[in-house]
A and B are shown apart, each in its own frame.
Chain A
Amino acid sequence: AQTVTQSQPEMSVQEAETVTLSCTYDTSESDYYLFWYKQPPSRQMILVIRQEAYKQQNATENRFSVNFQKAAKSFSLKISDSQLGDAAMYFCAYRSGYTGNQFYFGTGTSLTVIP
C-alpha cells in the first residue's frame, strides 16, 4: 500500500509571510495524483491544489504552489502572503492512477497564522 508522510505536525507563519509544508510519499507506480487538502475547524476537507504525476510543471493556484520532486517522491506546499484564513490542518494525499480510487492521506500539519 502507498504511504504518505508529513513530518511536521505543527507549523506557524507570520501573516503575509511564506510557509512551506512538507510531504513525502512511497509508491512504485508511475501514474498517480497528489493533492493538498485543507481542513479548517468546520471539519470539511477542501481541495487546495492537485498535481498529476505525469506533468513536470508544478501546479499553482493563486497563493498556493507545489514543489513536486518525482524522483525524490516529495510534494511540498508553499503558501505565499499567508492570511489568517489559511489557518487549518493541511493534509497531503495520494491517489493511484491505476488501481482503486481511494485516497491515502498523511497525518496532517496544523498551520497557525500569527497576526
Chain B
Amino acid sequence: DAGVTQSPTHLIKTRGQQVTLRCSPKSGHDTVSWYQQALGQGPQFIFQYYEEEERQRGNFPDRFSGHQFPNYSSELNVNALLLGDSALYLCASSSGTGYTEAFFGQGTRLTVV
C-alpha cells in the first residue's frame, strides 16, 4: 500500500515565478491538507481539501491556492514567489471529517532564489 506521495522532492525557482506541487493521498483517504514548514519551525497549516473543495484555510495569502481532483489527489500552487516562500511543503492525507490521524508525505523542498 503506497502511502502519501509528493512530487517533486526538490525544486528551485526564481522570485516572481509560479510553482505547482503535487500530492497523492494514501489509498482510501479522501482529505488532503497542505502544510508549510520553514527551516527550524513546525509545520504551519495552509489549507485542506475535501470533495474537491477548500474546506479550511490557514493564515496564508491568496498567492497560495490549491485544487483537488476526483481521484482525491491535490495540487498546491504558489504565485509570485517570494524568498520567504522557501520551505518544506508537506502534504497530509486523512479519511473523512472525523479523523484522528493524518499520514504525511516526505514533502517537497522548495528553494526560491
A residues with CB within 8 A of B: 4, 33, 35, 37, 42-47, 50, 52, 91, 93, 95, 100-108
Q: Give how many B residues have a beta carbon under 8 Å from the other chain's beta carbons.
A: 28
Contact status B97-A45, CB under 8 Å:
no
Contact with A along B71-107 (1 / 0, CB 8 A): 0000000000000000010101010010111111111
List, in ascending order, chain B residues with CB within 8 A of A45's CB: 43, 90, 92, 104
CA distance A37 to B40 in the complex (A): 15
Cross-chain contact B101 with A106 (CB below 8 angstroms): no
The A-B contact count (CB < 8 A) is 59
When chains A and B are docked, how far (Å) is the Cα of A41 from the Cα of B79? 28
User: B22 → chain A, closest Cβ, in Å?
Assistant: 16
Q: A33's closest neighbor in chain B, by CB?
A: B100
In the complex, what residue of chain A is closest to B31 when comparing beta carbons?
A101
Beyond the given A104-B45, A108-B40, could you list 16 further A-B residue pairs with CB under 8 A, ordered by the A residue number? A37-B104, A42-B106, A43-B90, A43-B109, A44-B104, A44-B105, A44-B106, A44-B107, A45-B92, A45-B104, A50-B101, A52-B100, A95-B100, A101-B94, A102-B48, A108-B42
